[in-house]
Amino acid sequence: MSIEFWKPEEIEAESFRRISEELGDRCFPAGIDLVVKRVIHTTADFSFADTLLFSEGVVETGKEAIRQGACIVTDTNMALAGINKARLAGFGATARCFMAEADVAAEAKERGVTRATVSMERAAALSAERPLILAIGNAPTALVKIKELMDAGQLKPALLIAAPVGFVNVVEAKELFVGSSTPHIIARGRKGGSTVAAAIVNAILYQI
């Protein structure tokens, strides 16, 4: 085995070519295919080709939300770091994460809840101002709170990306949104993560 040398600008293109080759005759609808391939590119895990669940028209819905200057709220600073904020800014869109804010931590401790719970309450307050995209890659408690706020009529996200990773309540929290009328992309099962959530956002963003 020998190391191949590639120019930086060639590496991503060659990676996507190899992903397409390995997927073989697997076909996905236009727009969705690029999301699937970018998640595989990020994780080197082809199982996402089977576990990513897309509501009808969700990629176009996400694109339109970004065009309208959406605010994207994530549940980790890692996901926030991975989102292409410079590209977002070209559409007047932004990305935020409340998790590390001192007042969020203080409120969560006082109430005996997770920071993700408080963060989603903060996110809900933004949804009256402009389209809200929620990109969840870590905390199932964020998804539980999102469902609670939606059921109470206090939150209506333009798009929900449900991709926490882990073992405790992860699968169950994702399944809360299967079949939901809310536009959604769900990484079903235990796999996911901040990098997956960011990759999904970027995959939609890069199609605009």
What is the C-alpha separation between 98 and 101, in angstroms, rounded?
6
Q: How far is Cα 3 from Cα 122, in angstroms, rounded to an integer?
A: 48
Out of 23, 41, 85, 107, pick the active-site residue: 41
Give me the numbers of helices (H) and strands (E) for the chain, helices first please.
11, 6
Helix (H) or strand (E) holding 14: helix 8-23
**Is the CB of residue 88 less than 8 Å from the CB of residue 94?**
yes
Q: Are strands 184-187 and 159-162 parallel, antiparallel or unpaired?
A: parallel
Per DSSP, 15 falls in state: H
Based on the residue annotation, tell me whether 184 is a catalytic residue of this protein.
no
Reduced to 3 states, what is the DSSP secondary structure of residue 94?
strand
Please name every residue paired with 72 in a beta bridge, in sequence order, or none if there are none. 95, 133
Q: Are strands 52-54 and 184-187 parallel, antiparallel or unpaired?
A: antiparallel
Catalytic residue set: 41
